[in-house]
Each structure stands twice: as structure tokens, then as C-alpha cells.
Amino acid sequence: MTKIRFAVTTAALILLVQILSAATISGFITRAESAEPLQYVNVRITETRVGMQTNKKGYYVLNISRPGSYTLEVSMIGFSTQRIPFRIAAQEEDFPLNVALEKTGVELQRIVVTAAPEEDNIYSPPQIRIGTIRQNPEDIQKVVAVVEADVFRSVLALPGVTPISDFSAGLYVRGGSPDQNLILLDDIDVYNPNHFGGVFSTFNTDAVESVELIKGGYPAKYGGRLSSVLDVTNRQGNRNYHQGVARLSAISTSATLEGPWRIGGQHGSYMASFRRTYLELMKQFVDLPDYYFYDGHAKLNWDLDSRNKFSASAYFGRDDLTFDFGSELKLDWGNQTFTTQWVRLFNPTLFAHFIIAGSRFESNFSVSNEEGNNSISRHNGIDDLSTKGMLSWKPNNEHQLDFGYELKWNQTIFKMDTDTQYDPNALPDVDAKSLLSAVYAQDVWDINDFWTLQPGFRLSWYKTLSVNLPNSPHASYLNLEPRVSLRRKLDVAENVYVNYGRYYQYLTLMSMEVSTPFDIWYPMDGSLRPGISDHYTVGYKNELSRSFGFDFEVYYKTYRNLLQYNTATAFTWDNATVQLKDTFNTGKGFTYGADFMLRNDWKGFEGFIGYTISKTQRRIENTNIDPETLEPRYFYPKYDRSHQVNIIENFNFTENTGRQLMGGDLKFGLNFTYTTGQPNQVPERIYFDGEDFQIIYSYSDRERLPDYVRLDLSTKLEFLYRWGSIEPYFEIVNVLNRKNVSFRDYNISPDLDTGQLTLNHDDGTQFPFLPFVGVNVKW
């Protein structure tokens, strides 16, 4: 015991001496042309070989143990490397140094999993980022999408992310369903981030600074979901001059403005973006439903002083759809969010980020008869008010401690009404409030030049505050979520790592197997346990050269307390007696597989080739029952895919050959996707119920629909002028015009003459051969 006390005391004294004796160099790294912060820039001191990457706000801090002359090296792919000499005096403690990076003449690879270090860099990023892929607006614009560039469509092209349909932008990440993804916009949850039933995502590409997808094993500051994290950050706006971009496509138009502001001695920046479709104006030419959507982003930043920065951002969006089939069917849905942020430097080694934010999603459904009365209506929504504190303390170059808190209040409303004679108790009328609080801590410990350990935990407490259903028991759950990662550096740009993490989820979604805007979020009550998932990951990364990089991860996830909506309860609902367990079937599941990604910037071709092999299965009560044991059996959900291949390649013809077309810069883009077909239920037996023939389907003997294959091509021609640029473009979706199948329905045709039954099927189609034209204008 005495030896243990001595060791602990000695370690504490050594740490204290390091803290007291070290000078610090710190600052913000920004873009020279706009003064916006640059995320994940490599920063190092060449003489000591210590370094790190900037955080999401562009901040870095390094410790220097001795006075002397040093050189700060700042580098990022696509930007010119800067080397800045500086001197630390004997008694100097803090040395602030901000750096603005210029873009290089030829922009290199932008898709970054972990930033590619230069050959003489021997440090790794401070955090071990498991399954992480970052994209910026340029990456998103390069992915060929329907009508216009789209955040979710670019994410769906990444290995490990499964598209279930051309008409759905739901993210199925490594075997997880869309409700198991934590989707953030400026650090606040977005609960249904889709337009047009999933064809478009909520986010306007021009308003986005970065998109970060974490496919599993995410760090301790994230929680509340079982599968993945999609962290979207709005742009801050140009702090140097005013500028804008406008885009016109076949069905929509958008505009974005940004620039600096100054009032007296105060200054900052702004950004505003708006987008709207005009499909309803085309009804007179094409037989289309009455539909449109709009959305907007806005952000205002205030740089109070060198240690305090404030910002406020907002998002709003709405979809409106009307069908007239004698009666009028009207649907509308939308999201609204706001975020206020305070970035505070308490001292150079203690960085803090405080947030107060809110989010709302709501959807409405109504059917009106010929007299204009509502024969039935439905409203559901979820409100979210949150506050967060995220702090980072770097006492020395060996440790970086991240810690913080989160407090989240949710209210869910689900209500149906009708003019017809119907028992009010049989129509859902739910009003539930809940509170989720959490604290977390995580240390990044560089043990030596080769080993990095990243232990952490998240402690979450969930409690229902009120539920208006008298028989629904209240819930209170306290759970510890351990997270740990270990990395071993093999060479300058080569490393392997392992990761384990546990995750809990306290919200669930009343949904069919395919997500829609009318899925219903519902907080756990005391009748059910929260979902649990354990993630195990082993990975390997290697920057093979300046032209190629290779990433490989093997993963295994387990799921417990999974919930699957029991559609039969729609006919047995009773507000007086219902509990959540009556509405859902519970179960468990697993997924395992491997992701491969070969990134390239070779002879003008920029992009990647991705491959995923995986297996996902679920076992849900009252589903796929074994006739002998009467126990549920494992089955493949619709989003299971055995194999998936993605190829994204872009070629700037003018930049790499020096030749122009009609005085413009010519660019080509290619997307190719192959996946094995989705599982589909097959008929097991047929019976006659006295009125008609009915089909009983098998879950365990699911067939595979035909393989999905799609090739998309794009051509852009950019004309540069003193005031900006004009870029017309031409894109073709599904160049091969392959008849990809989205679903298969079976039906029975009896032959009255022979008495025989014929089993037929109808296949749902996906995007056919679709050409699009549009134009982008920048100034």
C-alpha cells in the first residue's frame, strides 16, 4: 500500500511540475480568404516533434518545456504549408499565435478519414477516431445526386452506409436503423432530416461547413443512440468580404449570402441560405401532386475578444403535399432548430464550448371529405430543449482531457381525431415528457511515440417526467457507458487500433421497416428497458503515398432490447390501459462485417473505391416463430446487404491538361454503386378466409431481390469572371437504365375453370434513366 501511495504521489508531482514549468503556444487556424476556422489542421513544433490537430473551432494548444527558438509548422491537404519561427523567453508562459492558411493552386484530395500526415510528421491526431469520415461542401458537390448535390446522398455513397431505396435518404449504418443514428446540426438533434419522403435531405449543402460521419465506436461526448453519429456544422460566413452563390436546377432554386459585419468596435460574420422547390408550378404541364418544400439556414457570429466568441444559428424547413382523389389528403411536416454557442478560453490550456439549443419536428396528416370536413386527422411531434458544456484541458503534450455535461428535455405528442362515431379511447392521445442528463470524461494519453490510449466513460440518467396515459409506468434509468480505444503506430503514416464502447438509447421510433416523415418518436416508459449496443472495432490505416491511402475496419455490434412496432396494436389501442410494451415487440440482434476504402489523388483522378461485406440479423418476439419450438427465429431485416461496392471519381480535365472547352473549365464526375439485393418475405402458405385468399409470409426463408446496380455521370463547365463564376452542369442518373427493384408484392390469381391458384408478384421500381441540367452562379 505504501508503494502504491508513493507511486501515485510521484506521478502527481511529475504532472504538476510539467504543468507549472511548461510554456504554451496556442491560437486559431483560419482560411486566409474568409477567416473562417479550419478543422483538424496538422500543427506541430518541428524541433520537439510534438503536434496535434485543431478542434472543430480551429483551436490548437502545444506545450514547450524549455525556452529557446522554435518553428511552428501548420499544414493541411489543399492548403499551403506555413512554417513560422518564434522564440520563447525564459519567463514567458503564454505565446498566442494565430495562422491563416492559403489554398494551394491545385487542390488535392479533400475526403479525409484521418488527415494524411506529411512524410516527416511522426505524430498522430490527438483523438483516436473510429470509423470517422469527414466531408466538406466540395466533397458533397462532387457526388452525382438527383437534381442537386445532397448531404445524405454523399453519405450514402460511403462504405458501411446502406441505401435501402432511391426514394429514401434514411441512413442504415453498419446494421443500424435510422432511429439509431444521432444526427446533429450545430450540436442539436434533428429528428427527421428528410424532404420529399427521403429523396432530399434537410441540409442545404452551401450552408454546411463540414459533415462528420462516425460509423461506430464514437467518443464519450456523444450518446443517446445505438448505431452512429452524423455531426453537421453550419458555416460561419466570410469575415473578410461579402459573397454569395445561387443555384438553379430542374425543380429547385437556392441562394446563399455571407459576409462580415461591424458595429462600432464590435465585429463578426453572418451567413444566410434559402432553398425552395417549385414542383407545384409544373402541375399544368405534368401530372404531379401539389407539393413543395423550403428550408433555410442562418448564422450570426460575434467575436467579442480573443478569448470569447458567440454565435447564434437557426434552421427551418417545411414540406407540404396535397392529393385530391375525391377526398383531399393533406400532409405537411418540418423541422426547426436553434443553437446559441459561447466559446471561452479560460486559459490557453482550457478550452470551453457552452451551448443552449432547441429542436422541433412535427407532422400533420388529414383527410377531408367532399364537404371539406376532416374525417380523420393526425398530429405528432417532438420538442427538444438542451444545454451542453464541452471542455478540453491539455496540461501537457501527453494528455488531453475532454469532459462535459448534457441536459436534454423532450416532449412527444401523438394525437388522432375523427368526425365519425368512434371511441375516443381507441384513438391515440399521447403527451409524454422526459429528461436525459449525462456527464462524460475522456483522456487521450500518448504513452510514448508508438502507443496512444483513449479511455473514457459517459454516465447517463434518464427519467420520464409525465405521461398522460394512466397505465403507463414512469421510468428512471442510470447507466454507465464505458469507452476505450488503443492505437499502435507502425510507421510514419501507418497505424492499427482497437476499440470498445457501450451505448444506450432512451427514445424509440414507431416505424415500419422503411423510415418516413410520419414515424413517431416516443420516450421509454417503465414497461420497457432502454436499448443497449456494444461496439467492437479493429482498424488499420495507411497513407501509402501522396497519391493513395488505405483504410480497413472490422466491426461487430450486438443489440439488446430492440423494439419493433407491432402493427396489430393499431386496432387495439386504448388510452386508458396502453403501455409502451403493448405497442412494440422486443428482441435482440447483431451485425458484423468489414469496410475497405482506397482513397486516391492520382494523375488528376480524385475519389475513392469502397467495399463492404456484412451480415445483420434480428430476433424479435412474436415474429418468425419456429413451428416446433414456438420460439422466434433470427431473420434478415430489409437493410441487410451482404456485399456493397461504391466508386466515386472526379476528373478536372482543364486543371490536369491545361485545355479548356469554349473558354471554360471542364470537369467530369462518376458514381457507381453495387449492392446485393435486399431481403424480402416470401409466401409460406395460402389459405381462404371465407371471402378471399390470404398469404402467410415467412421471415426466415427470405428471398433476395435482384442486385442493385447504378451508374451516374456528370459534366460541369465553369466560366470564370472577375466578379465570380457561372457553372452550367449536365447529370445523368442511372446511365445504364437498369430496372432496379425497390420492393416485391405477391398476389394470388385463381383460375375458376381449373381451380388452380397462380402466385404472381409485382415489383416496385426505382430511378430510371434521368437526365438533369442546372446552373451554379458564384459571386
Residue 7: predicted pLDDT: 45
For 111-141, give the DSSP string.
-BSS----TT-----SS--TTEEEE-HHHHH
**pLDDT, tens digit, 9 for 90 and up, residues 576-624:** 888 888 888 899 999 999 999 999 988 888 999 999 999 999 999 988 8
For residue 711, the surrounding DSSP H or E stretch is strand 708-721
Residue 20: predicted pLDDT: 46
Residue 115: predicted pLDDT: 38
For residue 184, is pLDDT > 90? yes
Rounded CA gap, 10 and 106, in Å?
A: 52
In DSSP terms, which residues pair with 439 in a beta bridge?
A: 405, 459
Amino acid, res. 742: S
Q: Mean of the pLDDT values across residues 516-525?
A: 82
The C-alpha angle 201, 206, 208, rounded to 5 degrees, equals 70
For residues 441 and 564, which has the higher predicted lDDT (pLDDT)? 441
The pLDDT mean for the chain works out to 85
Could you identify the residue written with the cell 449525462? 438
For residue 408, is pLDDT > 90? yes
Q: Mean of the pLDDT values across residues 81-107?
A: 80
For 449-501, give the DSSP string.
SSEEEEEEEEEEEEEEEEES-TT----EEEEEEEEEEEEEEEETTEEEEEEEE
For residue 65, is pLDDT > 70? yes
For residue 15, is pLDDT > 50? no
For residue 684, is pLDDT > 80? no
Instruction: Give the CA distances from residue 301 to residues 56, 262, 268, 321, 398, in Å, rounded to whole numbers and listed in that order.
Output: 15, 11, 5, 35, 33
Q: Mean of the pLDDT values across residues 143-172?
A: 80
Residue 564: predicted pLDDT: 87
Q: Which of 135-139, 383-387, 402-406 has the lowest mean pLDDT?
A: 135-139
Rounded CA gap, 488 and 369, in Å?
A: 67
Q: Which of 246-255, 349-358, 491-500 has the lowest mean pLDDT?
A: 246-255
Q: What is the DSSP letter of 144?
A: -
CA dihedral 553, 558, 562, 567 (to 10 degrees): 60
For residue 199, is pLDDT > 70? no
Asked whether 133 and 62 are in contact (CB, 8 A), the reply is no
Rounded CA gap, 102 and 656, in Å?
A: 21
Rounded CA gap, 112 and 58, in Å?
A: 16
The C-alpha angle 366, 371, 377, rounded to 5 degrees, equals 15
Residue 453: predicted pLDDT: 95
Residue 9: predicted pLDDT: 46
Rounded CA gap, 710 and 159, in Å?
A: 16
Amino acid, res. 752: L
- Residue 119's pLDDT band, with cuts at 50, 70 and 90, is very low
Rounded CA gap, 236 and 632, in Å?
A: 52
Q: Identify which of 102-116, 282-296, 524-538 has the greatest average pLDDT.
A: 524-538
- Residue 31's pLDDT band, with cuts at 50, 70 and 90, is very high
CA proximity to 123, closest of 401, 381, 414, 487: 487
Rounded CA gap, 280 and 286, in Å?
A: 10
The number of C-alpha atoms within 13 Å of 314 and in the hemisphere containing its C-beta is: 8
Cell of 412: 412527444
* 3-state SS, residue 280: helix
For residue 12, is pLDDT > 50? no
Q: Mean of the pLDDT values across residues 447-475?
A: 92
For residue 215, is pLDDT > 60? yes
Cell of 5: 501511495
- Residue 370's pLDDT band, with cuts at 50, 70 and 90, is low
The C-alpha angle 323, 327, 332, rounded to 5 degrees, equals 40
**pLDDT, tens digit, 9 for 90 and up, residues 708-723:** 999 999 999 989 888 8
Between the two ends of the chain, the Cα-to-Cα distance in Å is: 70
**pLDDT, tens digit, 9 for 90 and up, residues 423-439:** 666 777 889 999 999 99
Domains of the chain: 2-121 (2.60.40.1120), 642-779 (no CATH)
Residues with Cβ within 8 Å of residue 666, at least 6 apart in sequence: 652, 653, 654, 659, 660, 715, 716, 717
For residues 112 and 487, which has the higher predicted lDDT (pLDDT)? 487
Asked whether 254 and 275 are in contact (CB, 8 A), the reply is yes
Residue 571: predicted pLDDT: 67
For residue 227, is pLDDT > 70? yes
Rounded CA gap, 505 and 524, in Å?
A: 9
For residues 518 and 303, which has the higher predicted lDDT (pLDDT)? 303
For residues 689 and 431, which has the higher predicted lDDT (pLDDT)? 431
pTM: 0.89
Burial level of 12, CB count in 10 A (0-12/13-18/19+)? exposed
* 3-state SS, residue 691: coil
Residue 696: predicted pLDDT: 72
Residue 193: predicted pLDDT: 86
For residue 81, is pLDDT > 60? yes
Q: Mean of the pLDDT values across residues 644-667?
A: 88
Q: What is the DSSP letter of 349?
A: T
**pLDDT, tens digit, 9 for 90 and up, residues 487-517:** 999 988 899 999 999 999 999 888 766 667 7
SS3 letters across 705-762: CCCEEEEEEEEEEEEEECCEEEEEEEEEECCCCCCCEEEEEEEEEECCCCCCEEEEEE
From the CB of residue 311, how many other CB atoms can be counted at a distance below 10 Å?
22
Q: Mean of the pLDDT values across residues 628-653?
A: 90
- Residue 147's pLDDT band, with cuts at 50, 70 and 90, is low
Asked whether 487 and 497 are in contact (CB, 8 A), the reply is yes
Residue 286: predicted pLDDT: 62
- Residue 373's pLDDT band, with cuts at 50, 70 and 90, is low
**pLDDT, tens digit, 9 for 90 and up, residues 322-347:** 877 777 788 899 999 999 999 999 99
Residue 312: predicted pLDDT: 96
Rounded CA gap, 88 and 96, in Å?
A: 11
Residue 374: predicted pLDDT: 60
Rounded CA gap, 344 and 366, in Å?
A: 48
For residue 4, the surrounding DSSP H or E stretch is helix 2-21
For residue 724, is pLDDT > 60? yes
For residue 52, the surrounding DSSP H or E stretch is strand 50-53
Residue 713: predicted pLDDT: 92
CA proximity to 359, closest of 382, 379, 340: 382
CA proximity to 599, closest of 155, 113, 54: 113
